[in-house]
Amino acid sequence: MVAPMIRIGPYRFTRPDVDRTLRSYAPLWQLYRDGRDAAAIDDLEVELTGDPEIDLARVWESFLAAGPALRAAGELPLKTVGSVVQLNVSRGGVPKLPVDEITVGFNGVEGDVQKSMKHHGAPWQALCLWSTESITELNAEGHSLAPGAAGENVTVEGLPWAEVRAGVRLQLGEVLCEVSAFALPCSKNAKWFASRDFGAMHHERGPSRVYATVLEPGRITTGDPAILEP
């Protein structure tokens, strides 16, 4: 049985997506504020009414407005050009394996599958991104990561990764996306970590993967520019 969907423009939310989005709204909103003068987005925060469809529409509007408001207030980083090092897909689970090109829609990468949708699949989780610098940093601590091992779709290099967080935009080939959240560590990644300490890639401890919303779909090819704040 296909789960019922709620559509907002080109974005499709299953009922579990709606529940996860609304449940996560307060902590996700805080990510847009952290380390910034957030006065520019104070008026964009919404209070939930208890009606899921009404609340989802208001929450999604606030998320899509937050990045532009922070950008207009000068709270986002300067343009930086890096590159796409590897593109990764799987039929479920990790590692994701390298491919030369991916096609990205508003709800994610064509042909890429998540085994469990309990914590994945909402439009603000359409892409998972990470950097070679993050992988190198963690491996220097004794771990054994490689591009795609932790499940990111796009591995980039040459960007100031600490600045790649909620609200910033990235141009990856034809795809324009906006970072929405940190991707929380999953126990399925424990095998890559010394003492199975997969929490080492939690954003409060080290360099985290991030999720992104797709604003303009298209293709990404290995070697394409990865532009922060294009």
Model confidence pLDDT, tens digit, residues 10-48: 999 999 999 999 999 999 999 999 999 999 999 999 999
Of 43, 72, 101, the domain-final residue = 72
pLDDT above 60: residue 218: yes
Residues 91, 60 share a domain: no
The pair of three-digit structure tokens given for residue 150, joined into one six-digit string: 């932790």
Residues 177, 219 share a domain: yes
Instruction: Report the alpha-carbon distance of residue 141 to residue 193 in Å, rounded.
Output: 9
Residues 35, 138 share a domain: no
The pair of three-digit structure tokens given for residue 190, joined into one six-digit string: 């424990």
- Nearest residue to 144 via CA among 105, 96, 196: 196
Q: Identify the band that residue 2 occupies on the pLDDT scale cut at 50, 70 and 90.
A: very low
Residues 88, 104 share a domain: yes
Instruction: Report the alpha-carbon distance of residue 62 to residue 56 in Å, rounded.
Output: 10
Instruction: Report the alpha-carbon distance of residue 177 to residue 13 in Å, rounded.
Output: 18
pLDDT above 90: residue 119: no
Instruction: Report the alpha-carbon distance of residue 9 to residue 163 in Å, rounded.
Output: 29
Residues 210, 187 share a domain: yes
Dihedral angle at the C-alpha atoms of 180, 71, 35, 147, nearest 10 degrees?
40
Residues 125, 21 share a domain: no
Residues 129, 206 share a domain: yes
Domain containing residue 107: CATH number: 2.40.33.20
Residues 102, 198 share a domain: yes
Range of the domain at 28: 5-72
Residues 67, 84 share a domain: no
- State how many domains the chain has: 2
Residues 54, 135 share a domain: no
- Nearest residue to 131 via CA among 171, 99, 162: 162
Residues 102, 55 share a domain: no
- The structure's pTM equals 0.94
Of 72, 89, 124, the domain-final residue = 72
Contact at 8 Å (CB) between 55 and 3? no
Collect all residues with Cβ–Cβ distance below 8 Å to 107 and sequence separation of at least 6: 11, 12, 121, 123, 126, 214
Residues 217, 110 share a domain: yes
Of 72, 88, 123, the domain-final residue = 72
**Helix/strand/coil percentages in the chain, nearest 5:** 30, 30, 40
DSSP letter for 184, please: P
Taking only the tens place, the pLDDT of each residue in 41-67 is 999 999 999 999 999 999 999 999 999
